[in-house]
Chains A and B, each alone.
Chain A
Amino acid sequence: MPDPKPQPAPAPELRGVTAADGTRRLELSGAWNLQALEHRLAELAPRLAENAADATARWDLRGVEVIDHAGALLLWRTWGRRRAANLVLKPEHELVFRHLELPAEPVPQLPPRDPLWAVAVVGRKMLSVLDHLATMVMVLGQVVLDTAYLVRQPARIPWREISASVYRTGTQALGITALVGFLIGVVLSYLSSQQLRLFGADAFIINILGVSVIRELGPVLAAILIAGRSGSAITAQLGVMRVTQELDAMAVMGIPHTLRLILPKMLALAISMPLVVLWTDAVALLGGMVAANAELGIGYRYFLSSLPDAVPIANLWLGLGKGVVFGLLIALVACHFGLRIEPNTESLGIGTTNSVVTSITVVIIVDAVFAIMFKDVGIG
């Protein structure tokens, strides 16, 4: 059997003929469809327009092989949005023109821009911040109520969800926090030791590293990494559950979102964050110790034995306490943004970005509050 291949459509052509009695006849031929017109539109459109000026012209479309809605529409526009007076065409093409004779309704125009739009934008932003705060307080309140409920009914504590979240937010974050912590430790130690050597105060490297890493850098570094890693994952997960109506399915089964989704994540992060902080501290100090040994020749044994004297233990408790608070905040912010996602892709992207940016900002603000509140603890 021969294998006929679809032939490329012949190009659309327009030919003007002036008859003996002076009337003009316009003969159209070839394919007047979008595929064929695409490349010839720039050339054909002005020629069509100049011919349309003559209202007495006869339009002969009998030579047209294929015509589609786009081609018909082009002619329609040429004729001033009505059928040309003297038109002949193939009967099978008659149907294509039928759709055009619908009344053209105007598209609703967008409302004009408000002259006070700048004020409105700022105001709307402020209201949205207040709205976020209000709903976040509501979520927090619900979580507290759920916690009280679980204390009374310990059998309903969602252990599996909690342990799964601890694994995802804690265990799986060990690699990245170790890498970043180690490098920060090395850099901090290397830069500080060069300064200290100028003053001959080599031994103080242990104080500097110990206090800054345990009290400040460890918790903040871990919190920023976890916010970027787990916070975004939580927001995206809840957002997709909104898009796929899983949240609605849970609601109609009578499973509260806060109890099954938010509370386990907050508890899990409150457990895993201090552990990740401890891990980051340890690895950062290791990096600092290696760099101090290389740069200042401070022995590992000496470094480790003088660390407890240089850094009061209160700093460690403070750092771990910050870890717990940061973990709760990251989970709360991530869940809050996750639940506000609307069922479309754009909202998912914006929600995830906002979640990460907000949780990192919140972590740093709360860290500053900690610094002021505990300024007399663990130093000197």
Chain B
Amino acid sequence: MTERIIEIKGLWTQFGGHTVHRGIDLDVHSGEIMSLVGGSGSGKTTLLRQMLGLEKPARGEVRVFGIPLHGSEPAALRKLRDRWGVLFQEGALFSALTVYDNVALPLREMRTLDEELIHDLVMMKLSMVGIEPLHATKMPAELSGGMVKRIALARALALEPELLFLDEPTAGLDPDRSESFVTLIQELHRELNLTVVMVTHDLETLVALSHRVAVLCDQRLEIVGTLDEVVANPHPFICNFFMGERGRRVLEAVKAVKDVMFIT
């Protein structure tokens, strides 16, 4: 029996007269890596923002750790926000703060940790995401997009969250970095039993990480299931996404790698 970390019930999202989601139901279980896929503009990021409480549903409810995101006590919501970490698409580092201060900010906000412990934690998080200490005093504007993303991940991990949201985590990273990013997420998942919700377009990341995949199209969740279940679905979008030229190549390559690993 696994806990349900996120519960979405009958969610409708509307912007003006434009409907983004029509009645979405989705549960994310403890310790799983759930991927959201869908075409551009299908509302993946909006659904993620709903789970973060950044958008208000027109109808329906979103609960995270059993707490409704709208209408709960501010104190309960504050506690909730210490338990999740978010990696935004563009990193969203505070441009006025150095790399070190960006990662230290959530720790300092707790107001109970001493500066020495914060220093050790920050340096550990930075080394975990592969950032050398010499970059710690730099400003975000001096860094490349890939580094910003890794530092943003370090900041998302600073509070040792149980739930991690990743919005396009590997977009803009080179293949080598994407690979190490995937490895890092797998390690963290193993060590800390993280629950991860990820929006991605990158098939390789998707295949390598996801336990379950939720496919958004035509404002609904077309299917939620394991990768094999999703790939077997005959919906035209899914066929194009996974069974197009690119998709098939990746699936075959991954399968081949898995077979080799199995044999050796």
Contact = CB atoms under 8 A, between A and B. Distances in A.
A346 B190 CA distance: 39
Interface string B105-138: 0000010110001011101110110001110110
B140 interface: yes
Interface in A1-26: 2-6
Contact of B160 (A68, A104, A107, A346): A68
A346 B121 contact: no
Given A96-B192, A99-B124, A107-B123, A3 B4 contact: yes
Contacts of A35: 82-83, 160
Contact of A74 (B30, B112, B117, B192): B117
B88 interface: no
Contacts of B132: 105
Contact of A95 (B1, B82, B117, B190): B190
The interface size bin for chain A is: 20 to 34
A100 B160 contact: no
Given A6-B5, A95-B191, A342 B141 contact: yes
Nearest to A41: B112
B242 interface: no
B65 interface: yes
Contacts of B124: 69, 73, 99-100, 102
B95 interface: yes
Contacts of B160: 33-35, 68-70
A42 interface: yes
A106 B132 CA distance: 10
B66 interface: yes
Contact of A6 (B3, B100, B141): B3
A344 B117 contact: no
Contact of B3 (A5, A68, A105): A5
A45 B192 CA distance: 23
Contacts of A6: 3, 5, 30, 65-66
A171 interface: no
Contacts of A41: 112-113
Interface string A33-76: 11100110110000000000000000000000000111001100
Given A4-B1, A108-B136, A344 B141 contact: yes
A197 interface: no
A110 interface: yes
Residue in B30, B82, B124, B127 with the greatest tally of chain A CB atoms within 10 Å: B124
Contacts of A77: 117, 120
B96 interface: yes
A86 interface: no
Interface in A331-371: 342-346
Main secondary structure of the interface of A (DSSP, over half): loop
Given A35-B83, A70-B160, A107 B100 contact: yes
A108 B133 CA distance: 7
Contacts of B65: 5-6
A2 B160 CA distance: 28
A249 B19 CA distance: 33
B129 to A, nearest CB: 11
A38 B112 contact: yes
Contacts of A104: 123
B139 interface: yes
A105 B96 contact: no
Nearest to A106: B133
A284 to B, nearest CB: 42
B96 A96 contact: no
Contacts of A95: 187, 190-191
Nearest to B110: A38
A100 B216 CA distance: 40
Contact of A344 (B3, B134, B140): B140
A108 B134 contact: yes
A5 B2 CA distance: 10
A281 B99 CA distance: 53
A344 B112 contact: no
Nearest to A348: B95
Nearest to B126: A107
A80 B96 CA distance: 35
Contacts of A5: 3, 65-66
Residue in B113, B117, B191 with the greatest tally of chain A CB atoms within 10 Å: B191
A47 B191 CA distance: 27
A95 B128 CA distance: 13
A104 B120 CA distance: 9
Interface string A236-249: 00000000000000
A95 B136 CA distance: 25
Given A69-B121, A73-B117, A345 B96 contact: yes
Contacts of B62: none
Nearest to B138: A108
Contacts of B127: 99, 102
B96 to A, nearest CB: 4
A345 B110 CA distance: 25
15 contacts: A2-B1, A4-B1, A5-B66, A6-B5, A6-B66, A38-B113, A69-B192, A70-B121, A73-B124, A99-B127, A100-B124, A102-B124, A108-B136, A344-B139, A346-B96
Question: Top 6 A-B pairs ranked by shortest CB distance?
Answer: A344-B95, A68-B160, A346-B96, A95-B191, A34-B160, A5-B66
